[in-house]
Amino acid sequence: MTEFNARAKFGTRAMMSAPAPVADAPPAALSDQARAIADRFSDRPISRSMLSGWVRIIEFLAVLAIGFAVYLGTIVREDGSDPRYLIPLVLGALFTIALIQAADGYNTGAFRSIFGQIGRIAAAWTLVFAGFAVAIFFLKLGEFYSRLWFTAWYIAGFAFFLVFRTGVAVLVGHWMRDGRLQRRAVIVGGGETAAELIRSMEASADKDVQICGIFDDRAGDRSPAIVQGYPRLGTIAELVAFARIAKIDMLIVSLPITAENRLLQILRQLWVLPVDIRLSAHTNKLRFRPRSYSYIGAVPFLDVFDKPIADWDSIVKRSFDLVFASLALVLLSPVLAATAIAIKLDSKGPVLFRQKRYGFNNEVIDVFKFRSMYAEKCDYEAKVAVTKGDPRVTRVGRFIRKTSIDELPQLINVLIGNLSLVGPRPHAVGSNTQDKLWEAVVDGYFARHKVKPGVTGWAQINGWRGEVDTSEKLRRRVEHDLYYIENWSPLLDLQILVRTPLALVNTENAY
């Protein structure tokens, strides 16, 4: 059988071509019950992979630091520095983390049990030093290394693990009670299919998924109000609003894969969300190769969409932003100062102004810009697009808009954290073309908000900047934004950053 590819079958292009209205539907109002449940889950969840990763990093650095501190106190103080101690320091830290990993000491279940995890760690820590003892004996290195140093390092290291892992267990227990360490999931589609899926998931030993409720356009016998103890909270349209408030991690569609048209209609509404989307495969009669599935416990799922730039990718991107934005602010400080003075001399009013724009997950954020219009004519909601020769724009404003210098204060937004250096450009809330809001012009427009918006982006370096006076220009921008989201990498960000100054040379559409 040819291996099934869910991404190819229900991918981005399929979503945009599925039978649906021309534009994204306006947000649906939630019921009181759905709103209460969404508010309960409004705190951001904590990724288990991120948690285990940070524990590894902290313990590796702590083992190194403790060993080095003991070295300074016992060896350097008495005999002076000896670079040979660097070898056991690094090897000891590496082998400790590797052995704890081999003993399953970095899964969330281990973190919850103080005594269980301390036993594993004590065994791994002791085995490392037993290995050192054997190596020193057979290699006849006893005269080169201090037994006092090894003993003090062992005792101090064990004390650290005892205190640190106790703190981790307390924190993990608190986060588990609050539901922040479980992936928050919503079942899409009710009835007996959803009931069977929930029974299978609850019977699984893997309890890292918390079902928050069920959403279905159907009602009555086909989709009762309560399924296996979980309430039906609303329709598919209402699910979009619910997922954004509740910080949902995963949407599980419990419909048979053979219902292709129905699936496409549902997925088209949901793919704009920055979440994982899975098709339940436990009741499907079609069977595919095991590697076609992902699993929650023993329950199989077909992956349709993955949340973009998640977990460690988000750390890499945030680090990239902080480093390069800080460097840019320092290097461009003369330009920023000169622009502020020119604006102040050219016209009355503040140097900066804040504009409401759409940010990550469709949240409204304040974005900083240099003021390029006369103060009394500023359009804070961008209801009227700026055109060539626009009388609202000042003399200095024309220059800084053509060169995009007016956007430089957004580097402050990058440091604050509501913008990224590279990403889809943040559009003003009132942006429109031919008296239509942009979300009403392009189908799937809000999918560009699945990542943080950026100061520059893939669309801008490919010539799609400036005036948006036709629907075609907006579609091309959105297409480039979606390409960036699906193909993101640190190298792509660096490429866009390097090409941005060259793209600014073309001022044809910038007014």
- Can you give the length of the chain in residues? 511
Q: What's the pLDDT score for residue 467?
A: 67
| Contact in structure between 269 and 236 (CB atoms under 8 Å) | yes
69 & 117 share domain: yes
Q: What's the pLDDT score for residue 60?
A: 95
Q: Which of 483, 481, 464, 474 is nearest to 23 (CA)?
A: 474
Q: Which of 81, 200, 60 is nearest to 124 (CA)?
A: 60
480 & 429 share domain: yes
342 & 385 share domain: yes
| Tens-digit pLDDT profile for residues 467-480 | 676 788 888 888 99
370 & 470 share domain: yes
Asked whether residue 386 is domain-assigned, the answer is yes
Asked whether residue 379 is domain-assigned, the answer is yes
Using the 3D structure, point to which of 289, 305, 321 is the last residue of a domain.
305
Using the 3D structure, point to which of 266, 282, 305 is the last residue of a domain.
305
328 & 383 share domain: yes
pLDDT-derived band at 505 (thresholds 50, 70, 90) equals low
67 & 21 share domain: no
373 & 490 share domain: yes
Lowest mean pLDDT among 51-65, 112-126, 416-430, 495-509: 495-509
Instruction: Give the chain's mean pLDDT.
Output: 82
Range of the domain at 81: 48-177
pLDDT-derived band at 18 (thresholds 50, 70, 90) equals very low
Answer with the residue of higher pLDDT: 161 or 393.
Answer: 161
Asked whether residue 510 is domain-assigned, the answer is no
Q: What's the pLDDT score for residue 23?
A: 45
CA-CA distance, 445 to 83, in Å (whole number)?
A: 59
163 & 247 share domain: no
Using the 3D structure, point to which of 158, 177, 196 is the last residue of a domain.
177
CA-CA distance, 363 to 365, in Å (whole number)?
A: 6
Q: Number of folded domains in the chain?
A: 3
| Tens-digit pLDDT profile for residues 407-449 | 899 999 999 999 999 999 888 777 766 666 777 677 778 888 8
- Through-space distance between the first and last CA atoms of the chain, rounded to whole angstroms: 57
Asked whether residue 133 is domain-assigned, the answer is yes
Q: Which of 289, 283, 270 is nearest to 198 (CA)?
A: 283
Q: What's the pLDDT score for residue 423?
A: 92
Q: Taking 60 as the threshold, does the pLDDT of residue 285 lie above it?
A: no
149 & 210 share domain: no
299 & 351 share domain: no
Quick check: helix, strand or coil at residue 280?
strand
Q: Quick one: tokens of 307?
A: 């949340």
137 & 187 share domain: no
CA-CA distance, 371 to 404, in Å (whole number)?
A: 12
| Tens-digit pLDDT profile for residues 309-354 | 888 899 999 999 999 999 999 999 999 999 999 998 888 888 988 8
* Domain CATH number, residue 250: 3.40.50.20
CA triplet 199, 200, 202: central angle to 5 degrees?
A: 65
CA-CA distance, 207 to 108, in Å (whole number)?
A: 11
Asked whether residue 77 is domain-assigned, the answer is yes
Asked whether residue 373 is domain-assigned, the answer is yes
Asked whether residue 508 is domain-assigned, the answer is no
297 & 272 share domain: yes
CA-CA distance, 309 to 237, in Å (whole number)?
A: 25
Asked whether residue 70 is domain-assigned, the answer is yes
